[in-house]
Amino acid sequence: MQAPIQYQKSDDGIVTLTFDAPDQSVNTMTDAMRQCLAEVSDRLVAEKDSIAGVILTSAKDTFFAGGNLNRIYGMQPKDAETLFAATEAGKRALRQIETLGKPVVAALNGTALGGGFEIALACHHRIALDKPKAQFGLPEATLGLMPGAGGVVRMTRLLGLAASQPYLQDSKLMSPTQAVEAGLIHALAPTQEALLEQARAWIAAHPASAQPWDARGYVPPGGWNDSEGAKRWISTAAAQVRARTKGCYPAPEAILCASVEGMQVDFDTASRIETRYFVQIVTGKVSKNILGTFWFRANEIKSGAQRPTGVEKGKVGRLAVLGAGMMGKGIAYVAATRGIEVWVKDATIEQAASARDNADKLLAKREEKGEIDAAQRRQVVERIHPVASYEDLAQVDLVIEAVPENPALKAEITGTAEPLLSDRAIWASNTSTLPITGLAKASGRPGRFIGLHFFSPVHRMQLVEVIKGKETSKETLAHALDFVMQLGKTPIVVNDSRGFFTSRVFSTFTREGVAMLGEGQDPAAIETAAAFAGFPVGPLAVLDEVSLSLSYNNRLETLKAHAAEGNPLPAHPADAVMERMLDKFGRKGRAAGGGFYDYPADGPKAFWSGLARHFVRPTEQIPQQDKMDRLLFCMALESVRILQEGVLDSAGDGNIGSVLGIGFPRWTGGVFQYLNQYGLKEAVARAEYLAAHYGERFAPPRLLKEKAASGELF
């Protein structure tokens, strides 16, 4: 079997190590790769007297993709000792190469991320092929991990303690040009041949090379930990990290600890410190939560796991957007940036034209940042075509209706516009709550009718909820998924139901926050509980933004619809609080002047003083952990009910949808993974406690109890 690293020595004594993992499209740090790296490093040491220099390169289109995430995902606390030994062995090999006493060059023929970039950092000189789409950096923290092959130690010594943190904690990635500007890549090459020629030339010009930190008297930028600048930075760094992570994400804190501790000891000791933190992070729960959802499930979605088989792939070249409100404008902009021609129709041509104006404003900001040029900006804007008549939409491939949540209005538009479309066109409604099967009754071809629920702001939010009506065909579903992927967004598939998945689950979060206020809880404690549970925004602040009146009216419509269907919903303690806020106090939300918060023109928002007067009861405060768990469990338990009802087909879709769409804390891996990592038996017990103290809505659903009894995870 072919070795994953090819060892070739030329007549001039230059050894080229070529990474080429067999049966893999990219190079990763498998056990075989790690073993081979140890062997070639030993061979280099044995033959160093006959070696002029070493070049590290790749036979793949990319240089090296990093660690083997399948292996990392499987690591449990019981594997800590094995992982520690394997990690140290890999580091030993890299350390042998960089201390060989010979010039070592990384010839980066493509992207080098994570462990791949750590290998490059162990080289004395780094030259990259000038590929605009190539990326370099250490993205581990985005997956709940941290660099473990010397990246923390080398990066802090190379850039300095403070300057290295955006690349370590924030996973800042770089293009080839940006990497040169940062001082992490030394030179660029226009072609593969030039890349290797430059590497050989550098070796010839630097016959005795070493890392800067191995030179006597080396001082990193900003100094070691005893310098005044470093001491000032260290004194505030931990507080800044904790303020950002709220203690929910262990990786940034571990990176900071490894950085600071490593900069006050020698290189080898710093490397062992890094390994200890790395093992702790890899075997912990949070990395498993994030990897499972945002790597494995996300890649399943990208590979078409939800897509019906036997349907030829579709592509939208011409799109119609009906309604140029906030959502319609956003959809038009995103589609135009992906090369799709977009026709926008609204009540007037002036309203339709606002979609072009909106796109131009967003593109202007990108042009100012240097992301696009004036010609690219103009091309995107010119793809958006305001129209006055439905007849102009005859040749579109897909229509997205994005008008207000009014069933009668939607039905009128469907009945008027659909007969003018080509037979192949798909009709999609961007509704957040209204059942698709009901909306499809206005359609003459319900098999080509589907829901596409985008999230605001469309250009930033990654999720799209794809809702199947009872008559939606598999071809329509497949092509709708193709379109979402064409936009570069992440789809989840949901069966038809009022509120679908995201709106139904999100409403439990906001209502629970309001219910706690009605019980007399301090609003600051409610919002703080949300923050320390990992939610990006508290429930009271969210309701102010979306409007208390809109939220309450949606709730009343939902109650009315369920009652009409013979399936009445139980009363919720938040309902009375919302009614009181609206009817007695006239507090409708931020847009109407204020809701739970006041919004002074000359200062930051602050809680409306009436909350303390009319709601808060200081002697009846409940434990803060109960507040946090109520916000987490209300969403997780409702998600289980939705899965139990068959609205969701996949717990994996619920996980990714809950984080990307409605702000469930990323550290959990999503609503179902939160319960998995909590322990299903323990989750049942906690739900029963919450139900006994705060209401029957926390009673554990049948499916949760069944899985807890069987030992099967979601």
Which structural domains are found in the chain, ordered by start? 5-283 (3.90.226.10), 318-496 (3.40.50.720), 503-710 (1.10.1040.50)
| Tokens describing residue 331 | 């959809």
252 contacts: CB under 8 Å, gap ≥ 6: 141, 169, 241, 244, 245
Supply the pLDDT for residue 23: 87
> Which of 175, 201, 159, 154 is CA-nearest to residue 108?
175
Distances (CA, A) of 402 to 282, 420, 451, 552: 44, 18, 11, 21
| Tokens describing residue 530 | 């949300």
- The rounded distance, in Å, linking the Cα atoms of 70 and 292 is 10
Beta strand pairing call for 136-137 and 112-113: parallel
Supply the pLDDT for residue 149: 96
Supply the pLDDT for residue 517: 98
What is the amino acid identity at position 182? A
> Which of 609, 397, 652, 635 is CA-nearest to residue 511?
635
Give me the phi and psi of 334, to 5 degrees please.
Answer: -60, -45
| pLDDT > 80? residue 346 | yes
| Tokens describing residue 607 | 């809680």
Q: CA angle 404-407-413, nearest 5°?
A: 75
| Tokens describing residue 641 | 């009910």
| pLDDT > 90? residue 663 | yes
345 contacts: CB under 8 Å, gap ≥ 6: 320, 321, 322, 323, 352, 386, 387, 388, 389, 390, 392, 393, 417
- The rounded distance, in Å, linking the Cα atoms of 28 and 37 is 12
467-505 pLDDT per residue, tens: 999 999 999 999 999 999 999 999 999 999 999 999 999
| pLDDT > 80? residue 15 | yes
| pLDDT > 80? residue 448 | yes
Supply the pLDDT for residue 362: 96
638 contacts: CB under 8 Å, gap ≥ 6: 504, 505, 508
Q: What percent of the chain has pLDDT over 90?
A: 94
26 contacts: CB under 8 Å, gap ≥ 6: 60, 62, 64, 65
| pLDDT > 90? residue 443 | yes
Q: CA angle 423-428-434, nearest 5°?
A: 135
20-59 pLDDT per residue, tens: 999 899 999 988 999 999 999 999 999 999 999 999 999 9
More confident residue, 569 or 509: 509
Q: What percent of the chain has pLDDT over 70?
A: 100
Tell me, what DSSP letter sits at residue 568?
P
- Mean pLDDT across the stretch 273-291? 97
- The rounded distance, in Å, linking the Cα atoms of 128 and 194 is 10
- The rounded distance, in Å, linking the Cα atoms of 173 and 665 is 23
Do the beta carbons of residue 638 and residue 508 sit within 8 Å?
A: yes
How many CB atoms within 10 Å of residue 692? Answer: 11
| Residue recorded with tokens 């933190």 | 277
Supply the pLDDT for residue 68: 87
Supply the pLDDT for residue 554: 87
Supply the pLDDT for residue 21: 93
What is the amino acid identity at position 538? G
Supply the pLDDT for residue 2: 87
Angle between the 267-282 and 250-262 helix axes, to the nearest 10 degrees? 170
Do the beta carbons of residue 34 and residue 75 sit within 8 Å?
A: no
Do the beta carbons of residue 171 and residue 200 sit within 8 Å?
A: no
Supply the pLDDT for residue 483: 98
| Tokens describing residue 324 | 């140029």
| pLDDT > 80? residue 60 | yes
Supply the pLDDT for residue 265: 96
| pLDDT > 90? residue 699 | yes
Supply the pLDDT for residue 123: 98
Tell me, what DSSP letter sits at residue 143?
G
| Tokens describing residue 328 | 């319609």
387 DSSP β-pair partners: 345
- The rounded distance, in Å, linking the Cα atoms of 5 and 50 is 20
| pLDDT > 80? residue 708 | yes
- The rounded distance, in Å, linking the Cα atoms of 131 and 191 is 9
pLDDT band at 561 (very low <50, low <70, confident <90, very high): confident
How high is the mean pLDDT of the chain?
95
Torsion sign (Cα): 79, 80, 86, 90: positive
| pLDDT > 90? residue 638 | yes
Distances (CA, A) of 533 to 292, 295, 423: 20, 22, 49
pTM score, two decimals?
Answer: 0.92
| Residue recorded with tokens 């580091």 | 91
- Mean pLDDT across the stretch 388-411? 94
> Which of 154, 153, 98 is CA-nearest to residue 272?
153
| pLDDT > 90? residue 87 | yes
Supply the pLDDT for residue 208: 87
| pLDDT > 90? residue 713 | yes
Containing 252, the helix (H) or strand (E) segment is helix 250-262
Do the beta carbons of residue 109 and residue 135 sit within 8 Å?
A: no
pLDDT band at 567 (very low <50, low <70, confident <90, very high): confident
| Tokens describing residue 335 | 């589609």
| pLDDT > 80? residue 1 | no
| pLDDT > 90? residue 67 | no
- The rounded distance, in Å, linking the Cα atoms of 624 and 602 is 32
Torsion sign (Cα): 222, 224, 229, 233: positive
How many CB atoms within 10 Å of residue 341? Answer: 18
Beta strand pairing call for 490-495 and 597-598: unpaired
How many CB atoms within 10 Å of residue 603? Answer: 8
Distances (CA, A) of 390 to 318, 395, 446: 14, 11, 20
| Tokens describing residue 454 | 């985008």
- The rounded distance, in Å, linking the Cα atoms of 131 and 175 is 8
